[in-house]
Amino acid sequence: MGSFTHIKGELLTFAHAGSIKIGQYCFIGEDTRIWSAKSILIGDRVLISHNVNIFDNATHPISAKLRHEQFKQIITSGHPKGIDLQEKPIVISDDVLIGCMSIILAGVTIGEGAIVGAGSVVTKDVPPWTIVAGNPARIIREIPEDER
């Protein structure tokens, strides 16, 4: 975690793997959850509002049988150390703003200076200096030079 960064939310790495790196001058809001089973890289000067969820994995297997086995293991001996959760790294570049109640899913890169509107579900990469919003998140507009 970089200098002058404030974490009000929850950071969690899974038992079998996971890495969370956060740059300088970042803010992670209340009730935000960042859960990693692979790798989540957050650049400098990133502002993440409250109630945001960022997951670089599916958190549970697709198969009902495997989900049940995972649950049994969690309640009896802790999170499994050998499990496939379809992990894919997330990169959140410098100067990004993520609005409250947004969800960032596995494998996404959010480009420099991008803004994610409140309540968005980000399922694909976000180009630098764009505003995205919606479910799934779509480009609303580019941010011109004079607003950067």
Rounded to whole angstroms, how far apart are CA atoms 61 and 83? 8
State whether the Cα torsion 132-138-141-145 is positive or negative: positive
Rounded to whole angstroms, how far apart are CA atoms 52 and 42? 14
- DSSP class per residue in 77-106: H-S-SS-------EEE-TT-EE-TT-EE-T
Active-site choice (16, 50, 60, 79): 60
Active site residue 60: yes
Amino acid at 12: L
Residues that are catalytic: 60
